[in-house]
Amino acid sequence: MAGRHPGPHHTTGDPGMPAYARRHHLAASAGHDSWDVLPSITAPTLVVHGTDDVFNPAANAPLLAGRIPGAGLRWIEGARHAYFEEFRAVASPMALEFLADRPLG
């Protein structure tokens, strides 16, 4: 079975990042709002979300996917915010499959 790696998972930036850079990273994340431009996205988009993410509530995933034209939505059961590390064996093939079905160009 994939996942359930104990971590640590660095979802708030590189652990070697200086404190001032971490503060700026968190401030930029907190102030980021792209809601109004989501409908203008034209690239193939896959929203992937862990069902157990408490950092970014899972209820946000369908909101994002619904706002981006043609976006796909996939859930990773039991995954938290760092699903790409914790459930790499599930997330990577999921993303590769999505991209393989949507040739660019």
Please, are residues 22 and 102 in contact by the beta-carbon 8 Å criterion? no
Residue 17, judged by CB atoms within 10 A of its CB (0-12, 13-18, 19+), counts as middle
What gap in Å lies between CA 99 and CA 34, rounded to an integer? 23
Global confidence as pTM: 0.78
* pLDDT tens sequence across 14-55: 778 898 988 888 888 888 899 999 999 999 999 999 999 988
Region 8-14: mean pLDDT is 63
